[in-house]
Amino acid sequence: MIEVLEGGLQTTIQDGGRPGFLSRGIPPAGAQDFYSLSIANLLVGNDLTPPPLSRADPGAAGLEMVVKGVSLRFLDETVIALAGADMAATLDGTPVDRFRPIVAPAGSVLKCGTVKSGARGYLAIAGGIDVPLVIGSRATYVRGAQGGLEGRALRKGDRLTTFAPAAPAAALARRDLAGLPSAPEEPNVIRVVLGPQDFMFTAKGVETFLTAEWKLSPVSDRMGMRLVGPPLELHPRPDYLTRDAGSGPADIVDDVIPVGGIQVPGGIEPIVMGVENPTAGGYAKIATVISADLGKMGQIPPKGSLTFRKVRAEEGIAIIKDIWQKLRDARAALDAA
């Protein structure tokens, strides 16, 4: 049993999410930074968190903490691991490192503070958090009051239970990252595939998008991450589009919005859609963030800077397949040790 002493700014239970239901108005949710939750789960012997939209088993549920972390009291001995943003965590007042398993004795208190770098911290607990499955996942979708603990963020006084750990604490405490990096390279470079409506932007507009330094607006969340930077030039609108979709320079007839899609309302302040994205929208999407870099995007802090780099769709697919294979290989090696 785990007692929540402080809920943090927004701490939610997340796993790999529930992809495949956008047509029914249900976004996938799940960890915004799947890689960080996956390596935290790896360290405590849990099932891995799969890449976004992969249709794989969602893996073990852990905690996603945004900007300011949670405080917990562990009523039973367990093993935990922290990954993602540095939240200056302490266990019974002693600083603890990220990216390694930590034995938390019965009665011990974990305190996670305000982020020192990054934006989202992840906590995995041996066995994984035990809450009911909703459409095949334990992930919290707050706007839909779905999944997690009563469909909401954690708050003081909540109590959490976990499934049985995969091994005794002493064995789990010997695990490591098995050669995996603790975070992706070039954290502020976000790779994108142009489209689906990049043709609405002029060559100058696309070049501006790819060469400008963008800053993350504080008006950002798991649904969308708004960027501040130069305006993006669009082609003149044909009459039929004005008639059918509206007079705004980037207005289109509503169509589906992919996770990672980058809408540009009015040609200004692009919005990168997160894992709780709306199912449809009426603005041109200049590009789509590749699945492998959705976690990078989720770790950009408010007012943090980033740039975009164009890749081909085939490259994006190869990158995420390689990451997932390396995670599974590391899990197999540790389990066999």
Look-up of token digits 């995969």:
166
Cβ neighbours of residue 164 closer than 8 Å, sequence gap 6 or more: 127
Identify whether 48 is part of a domain.
yes
Q: Are residues 132 and 244 in the same domain?
A: no
Residue 327 lies in a domain: no
| 15 and 62 part of one domain | yes
Q: Which pLDDT belongs to residue 241?
A: 86
Among 179, 200, 232, identify where a domain stops: 179
Residue spans of beta strands (DSSP E) within the chain: 2-6, 11-14, 62-66, 71-74, 78-86, 90-91, 94-95, 102-104, 109-111, 117-125, 159-160, 189-194, 214-220, 224-228, 251-256, 261-263, 271-273, 280-283, 285-289, 305-310
Q: For position 195, which CATH number holds?
A: 2.40.100.10
Residue 29 and residue 144 in one domain: yes
- Residue 330 belongs to some domain of the structure: no
Please give the pLDDT value at position 14: 99
Are residues 197 and 54 part of one domain? no
Residue 254 DSSP one-character state: E
Which pLDDT belongs to residue 251?
A: 94
Task: Tally Cβ neighbours within 10 Å of residue 198.
Answer: 19
Written as six digits, the tokens of 53 are 């939209």
Task: Examine the domain organization and report whether 212 and 158 are in the same domain.
Answer: no
What's the total number of domains in the chain? 2
Q: Do 222 and 86 belong together in one domain?
A: no
Whether residue 241 is found in the same domain as residue 155 = no
pLDDT along the chain (337 residues), means of 10: 98 97 92 98 98 92 98 99 98 98 99 96 99 98 96 98 97 96 95 97 98 97 97 92 89 93 95 95 96 97 98 98 97 91
- Looking at residue 240, its pLDDT comes to 83
> Do residues 150 and 232 both lie within one domain?
no
Q: Are residues 158 and 226 in the same domain?
A: no
Looking at 179, 208, 234, which one is the last position of a domain? 179
Do the domain assignments include residue 323? no
Is residue 212 within 8 Å of residue 229, measured between CB atoms? yes
- Indicate if 266 and 214 belong to the same structural domain: yes
Residue 329 lies in a domain: no
Tell me the three state secondary structure of residue 201.
Answer: strand
**With contact defined as beta carbons under 8 Å apart, do 224 and 300 qualify?**
no
Residues 143, 24 within the same domain: yes
Kindly list the distances between the CA atom of residue 270 and the CA atoms of 64, 99, 284, 305, in Å, as whole numbers in the listed order: 25, 33, 10, 14
The verdict on residue 331 lying in a domain is: no
Residue 239 sits in which domain range? Answer: 189-316
Q: Compute how many other C-beta atoms are within 10 angstroms of the C-beta atom of residue 234.
A: 19
Q: Are residues 34 and 159 in the same domain?
A: yes
Q: Does a structural domain hold residue 211?
A: yes
- Domain closes at, from 159, 179, 199: 179
Query: Is there a domain that residue 108 lies in?
Result: yes
